[in-house]
Structure 1
Amino acid sequence: MDKKIAELYDAGKTDQAIHLLVKQIDAHPKNAENYLQLATYLLEQGSFDQASKLLEEAKHIVTKPEELDYDLAVCYYMQGDFTKAINLLDQIPNDDLVLYQKALVYLKIGQKQKALAYALSIKEVDDRVKELLGDIWLSLGEMAQAETSFLKIAVAKRTAKINFLLGVCFLTEDRDQAEKFWDKAEKQDPKYYQKAKNEYAAILKMLSDKGKKQ
């Protein structure tokens, strides 16, 4: 990664950084690193189609096209093309990054047990992995397991999403605690909180009724 270009990008000079990367690619077309850096920036800007097109074309040019496979699989995932993403990921040796991405894709397509198997195979369990495991356990209806995964994320690092889902996990066992998590989530990100509340309305009603019966 070109550090000077990265500094420009981090400073908010996005167009300048992208322009310089395009010049680097023109000067060194066989170098995969520049394509990867540019694709990362395009993904962060939400230009998923541009990023995948860039990497697809680069695969015919660079010296080691396999170096682009993981990032291209991420592009396909972001585009919602999960079949293409999995087909490409299956060609890459399983390291933690690949396992994480496979778990994400399988969760998206509803193959929850497969997603869980890949997520549980990850060796370095950071907050991102804890969140993914929580999401998978929750999708399987395993509230206690989901709760355990989410609670492993330090309080200061919990996003509105984590706090909201902790509220979902706690609803049947401790409604007051659930409300506290939701209050936090709403303060952190009111828009997300409202959206999540609508998305989870049916589940929340079911859990609430279940809690009342206990």
Structure 2
Amino acid sequence: MGQQDKKQAEQTKINQQIHQLVTRIDQDPQNTTNYLQLATCLLDQGSFAQATQLLEQAKHLVNKPQDLDYDLAVCYYMQGEFTKALTLLDQIPNDDLVLYQKALVYLKIGQQQKALAYALTIKHVDDRVRELLGDIWLSLGQLDEAQKSYRQIGLANRSAKVDFLLGITILAEDRTAAKKFFEQAKELDPKYYQQALDQYAAILKMINDKGKNND
């Protein structure tokens, strides 16, 4: 089976799943689980507006609308509606998932210290949390701390983004190692690599200029 056929088969499977969930919702409009599963499917497809609309409507139909709040907050976050996301998250008891999402939102709105406070409170630290901590430390200009967090992510689990940002954190002290990280990022995801070069152009120039002055 070719790559195109594989993608088509996967898409067909997802469409069937969505159709089944819609049918289940029609049969039992008060069942929260079906809405949450359908919203997850839509988010995975990148249909953020549809997922948001679904959960907003569902809140008027289910017995426990608050059970939809976390997923709805994620939908708002994905659409850049950060204030709405925070309003909902503040109504939910703080578990690891909520703390993670709050840290993400605060990082996005430029309140890094708050983001850090929430991220450091997370009890179960996995690679997703390590990446978030790296992002927060990097946004605070703490390159050593950012590097520590990114390096704690297992080699097999590092994305192009993690490799690229590791390159940035190490560029000033070890250009050869940084270059390797950049090459790995390019190999993993050329499209992201190009975007990242543009996004971090100012930082890369500043570090490079600093290096030249020290030579």
> Scaled by the length of structure 1, what TM-score is found?
0.94
Runs of 4 or more, structure 1, over 6 Å off, are none
Counterpart in the other structure of 1:69:
69
Paired residue type of 2:32: A
1:44 corresponds to: 44
Alignment of 1:121-132 (within 5 A): 121-132=121-132
Q: Which moved more, 1:139-148 or 1:46-55?
A: 46-55
After the TM superposition, which of the residue ranges 57-66 and 70-79 deviates more from structure 2? 57-66
SS at match of 1:74: helix
**1:152 lines up with 2:152 in the alignment:** yes
Matches within 5 A, 1:167-186: 167-186=167-186
Alignment correspondent of 2:28: 28
Paired residue for 2:58?
Answer: 58
C-alpha distance after superposition, 1:146-172 (max 9, x if no partner): 000000001111110000000000000
Q: Deviations over 1:160-189 (max 9, x none)?
A: 000000000000010100001011111111
User: Which AA in structure 2 matches 1:194?
Assistant: Q
> Aligned partners of 1:24, 1:141: CA distance in 2, in Å?
49
Q: Tell me, in whole angstroms, the C-alpha distance in 1 between the residues paired with 2:208 and 2:138.
A: 16
Secondary structure of 2:55's counterpart equals helix
Cα distance between partner residues in 2 of 1:15 and 1:84: 29
Partner of 2:6: none
SS of 1:180's equivalent in the other structure is: helix
For 2:94 and 2:156, the matched residues in 1 are separated by: 31
The normalised TM-score by structure 2 is 0.93
Give 1:188's aligned residue. Answer: 188
Q: Distance in 2 between matches of 1:11 and 1:209?
A: 48
Instruction: Give the aligned partner of residue 14 of structure 2.
Output: 14
Report deviation, 1:134. 0.1
How many Å apart are 1:100 and its aligned residue?
0.3
Q: 1:88-167, aligned counterparts within 5 Å?
A: 88-167=88-167
* Cα shift readout 1:29-60 (whole Å, capped 9, x = no counterpart): 11100000000011111111111111011111
Q: Percent identity?
A: 67
- Amino acid across the alignment from 1:137: W
* Residue-pair matches, total: 206
For the residues of structure 2 that align with 1:203 and 1:184, how far apart are their CA atoms?
19
Q: CA deviation at 1:211?
A: 2.4
Q: What one-letter code is carried by the residue in structure 1 that aligns with 2:130?
A: K
- Unmatched runs of 5 consecutive residues or more in structure 2: 1-8
Between the aligned partners of 2:130 and 2:213, the Cα distance in structure 1 is 31
Which secondary structure state, in structure 2, belongs to the residue aligned with residue 18 of structure 1? helix
Which whole-Å deviations, capped at 9, do the CAs of 1:78-125 have from their partners, x for residues lacking one? Answer: 011000000000000000000000000000000010000000000000
2:212 counterpart residue number: 212
What amino acid is aligned across from residue 34 of structure 2 in structure 1?
Answer: N
Distance 1:192 1:164 in 2: 9
SS at match of 1:43: helix
Higher alpha-carbon deviation: 44-53 or 130-139: 44-53
Measure, in 1, the Cα distance between the counterparts of 2:44 and 2:167: 29
Unaligned stretches of 5+ residues in structure 1: 1-8
